[in-house]
């Protein structure tokens, strides 16, 4: 293996891989060193229950990647290395305790008919939002894809003001500051429609009353209607396998089981890394750390007191517990068989319940009624399981990384090793109440606690799958810290990438792609 590269990467998550491929295309020699047995970080797939049943470890929805600027630029190359997607026309739905459900599909008439069952006015509002989405989307996606630098923001604001005028620009700013409950309550009258959309805020650490969270229920609703969802053919790791192959084909090197113990620097300039086995790897132009912010002071030995404190103080979101199930058949939903055709079914019955669950997890309590995101990928992609069989992907949101107690007063354990089984049973009880008979279909199961998520991937601190809270004080110009939203650090040629850097979490590879374009001069 070479011991000198233009860019050396710590970690091989999808952001690091995207950054490395872009640089390799520009002629950089890249080397990635990953502590885990496989590349991909939280985007990986494996047979975690029984042979032949392929489960996505954490990330399942690849819509952001499939629609990203990075993928559009590299689609042909990645497809040539096997990247393949399954388009989903029925992306998400919510089931409710009274046996009703509401869902979004790419068939506008179908969606509005379903919403009108709860509120005719809300169905009309939905149509109006979708009609305006084509006009609003360029501004929102332009912001989310823009570098968080004053010059870039000034240019964005100039374009927005010219297109929307002062009033329209201020309205957009107000919307970006709203909480999910504020926007949903002002926009829709049905509590069920509000809950169906509000569940998306919980994916990204935005409980109903958190300022700045309105954007995500809006975007997921509109994008689900307009584009559906994209899953990875055979598993989410289809993009990882293709990225690694593309980098390798361009002369790059991806090494797994290769943890980095130290970032080497001299006179304020990063020069390379030292691996845990003692080998030194030289970086001619850049060291790119795909790590949790708190790891940087340890790896460097310290930079500046202010920056080190900002990295150490970086706030994580609540944790997640995953339950992977191998099933004899898809759940028989009490609300109706039509739910089997949706990629996601949210069991999050009200905004009040979501707010309570979030507050309990933030307080270190096991929630009495956790939110469940029920992923049914084999309903869309049968290749993930033996013929006639299925996998179920359960996210239990939210759960505390460190347990201080149980909001329901039933689970006495405060160690995840002992609390995992009873907490999983609580989640499965909820699923069973919405889909009776599901337990009898279970052929195998694997519980992944927040502690195990972090042990397997140190970036997921406390099981936080979004690698840090996205609340306003830690987002946009402040992600991960003021003056460093482009991944820059006080050490020259040392850069941070991954979900802890703007534009944050998700599979869109934005942090890696923006950094690569900056380093390569586009």
Helix (H, G, I), strand (E, B) or coil at 64: helix
State which H helix or E strand residue 195 sits in: helix 191-203
pTM score, whole prediction: 0.95
**Token pair in block for residue 145:** 């894809």
In SS3 terms, 45-87 reads as EECCCCCCCCEECCCCECHHHHCCHHHHHHHHHHHHCCCCEEE
Contact 240, 17 (CB under 8 A): yes
> CA nearest 235: which of 346, 85, 16?
85
**Cα gap 379→343, rounded to integer Å:** 7
Q: Output the 3-class SS for 242-310.
A: HHHHHHHHCCCEEECCCCEEEEEEECCEEEEEEECCCCEEEEEEEEEECCCCCHHHHHHCCCCHHHHHH
How far is 337 from 330, CA to CA, in rounded Å?
10
The structure tokens listed for 239 are 């993009």
> Residue 150: what pLDDT?
59
Residue 153, pLDDT score: 64
Any bridge partners for residue 399, and if so which? Answer: 319
What is the Cα–Cα distance from 126 to 287, expressed in whole angstroms?
A: 47
Per-residue model confidence as pLDDT tens digits over 471-507: 999 998 899 999 999 999 999 999 999 999 999 999 9
pLDDT computed for residue 167 by the predictor:
82
The gap from C-alpha 15 to its chain's centroid, in whole angstroms, comes to: 12
- Confirm if 471 and 177 have CB atoms less than 8 A apart: no
| Token code pair at residue 45 | 């797939």
Would you state the torsion angle of the CA atoms of residues 354, 356, 357, 363, taken in this order, to the nearest 10 degrees?
140
Q: Which domains does the chain have, with CATH numbers?
A: 4-51+59-84+235-314+467-520 (3.50.50.60), 111-221 (no CATH), 316-456 (3.90.660)
Contact call for residues 342 and 93 (beta carbons, < 8 A): yes
Confidence (pLDDT) at 168: 77
Say if CB 213 and CB 363 are below 8 A apart.
no
CA atoms of 324 and 45, how far apart (whole Å): 11
Residues of the chain falling short of pLDDT 70: 1, 149-159
Alpha carbon 331 to chain centroid distance? 25
What SS3 state is found at 370? coil
Q: What integer pLDDT is reported at residue 40 of this predicted model? A: 97
Q: Name the residue with tokens 């001069």.
A: 521
Residue 350: burial class (beta carbons within 10 Å; 0-12, 13-18, 19+): middle
Task: Report helix, strand or coil for 235.
Answer: coil
Please state, in angstroms and rounded to a whole number, the distance separating the CA atoms of residues 335 and 316: 36
Bridge-based pairing state of the strands 442-448 and 319-327: antiparallel
Which strands form 319-327's sheet, in the order they lie side by side?
101-104, 92-95, 344-347, 371-375, 390-399, 319-327, 442-448
Q: Which of 348, 271, 339 is nearest to 114 (CA)?
A: 339
**Cα atoms found within 13 Å of the Cα of residue 209, Cβ hemisphere only:** 10
């Amino acid at each position: 293996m070479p011991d000198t590269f233009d860019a050396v990467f710590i970690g091989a998550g999808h952001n690091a891989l995207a950054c490395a491929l872009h640089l390799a295309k520009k002629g950089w020699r890249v080397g990635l060193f990953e502590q885990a047995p496989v590349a991909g970080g939280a985007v990986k797939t494996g047979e975690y229950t029984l042979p032949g049943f392929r489960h996505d470890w954490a990330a399942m929805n690849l819509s952001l990647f499939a629609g990203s600027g990075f993928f559009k630029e590299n689609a042909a190359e990645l497809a040539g290395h096997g990247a393949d997607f399954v388009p989903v026309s029925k992306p998400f739905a919510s089931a409710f305790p009274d046996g009703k459900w509401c869902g979004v599909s790419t068939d506008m008439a179908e969606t509005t008919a379903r919403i009108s069952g709860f509120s005719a006015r809300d169905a009309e509002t939905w149509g109006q939002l979708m009609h305006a989405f084509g006009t609003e989307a360029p501004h929102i996606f332009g912001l989310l894809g823009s570098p968080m630098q004053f010059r870039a923001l000034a240019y964005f604001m100039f374009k927005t003001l010219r297109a929307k005028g002062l009033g329209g620009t201020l309205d957009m700013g107000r919307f970006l500051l709203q909480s999910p409950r504020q926007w949903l309550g002002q926009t829709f009258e049905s509590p069920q429609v509000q809950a169906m959309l509000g569940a998306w805020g919980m994916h990204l650490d935005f409980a109903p009353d958190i300022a700045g969270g309105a954007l995500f229920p809006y975007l997921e609703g509109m994008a689900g209607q307009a584009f559906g969802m994209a899953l990875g053919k055979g598993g989410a790791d289809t993009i990882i396998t293709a990225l690694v192959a593309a980098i390798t084909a361009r002369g790059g090197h991806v090494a797994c089981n290769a943890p980095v113990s130290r970032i080497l620097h001299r006179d304020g300039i990063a020069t390379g890394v030292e691996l845990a086995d003692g080998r030194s790897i030289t970086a001619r132009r850049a060291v790119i750390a795909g790590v949790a912010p708190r790891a940087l002071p340890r790896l460097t030995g310290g930079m500046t007191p202010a920056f080190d404190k900002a990295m150490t103080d970086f706030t994580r979101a609540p944790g997640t517990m995953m339950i992977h199930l191998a099933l004899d058949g898809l759940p028989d939903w009490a609300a109706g068989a039509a739910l089997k055709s949706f990629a996601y079914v949210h069991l999050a019955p009200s905004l009040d319940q979501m707010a309570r669950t979030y507050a309990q997890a933030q307080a270190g309590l096991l929630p009495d009624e956790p939110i469940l995101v029920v992923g049914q990928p084999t309903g869309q992609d049968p290749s993930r399981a033996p013929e006639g069989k299925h996998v179920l992907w359960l996210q239990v949101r939210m759960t505390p990384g460190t347990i201080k107690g149980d909001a329901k007063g039933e689970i006495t354990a405060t160690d995840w090793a002992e609390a995992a089984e009873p907490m999983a049973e609580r989640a499965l009880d909820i699923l069973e109440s919405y889909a009776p008979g599901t337990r009898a279909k279970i052929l195998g199961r694997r519980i992944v606690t927040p502690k195990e998520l972090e042990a397997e991937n140190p970036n997921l601190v406390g099981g936080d799958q979004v690698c840090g809270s996205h609340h306003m004080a830690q987002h946009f110009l402040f992600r991960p810290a003021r003056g460093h939203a482009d991944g820059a650090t006080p050490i020259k040629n040392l850069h941070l990438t991954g979900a802890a850097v703007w534009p944050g979490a998700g599979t869109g590879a934005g942090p890696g792609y923006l950094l690569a374009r900056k380093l390569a001069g586009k």
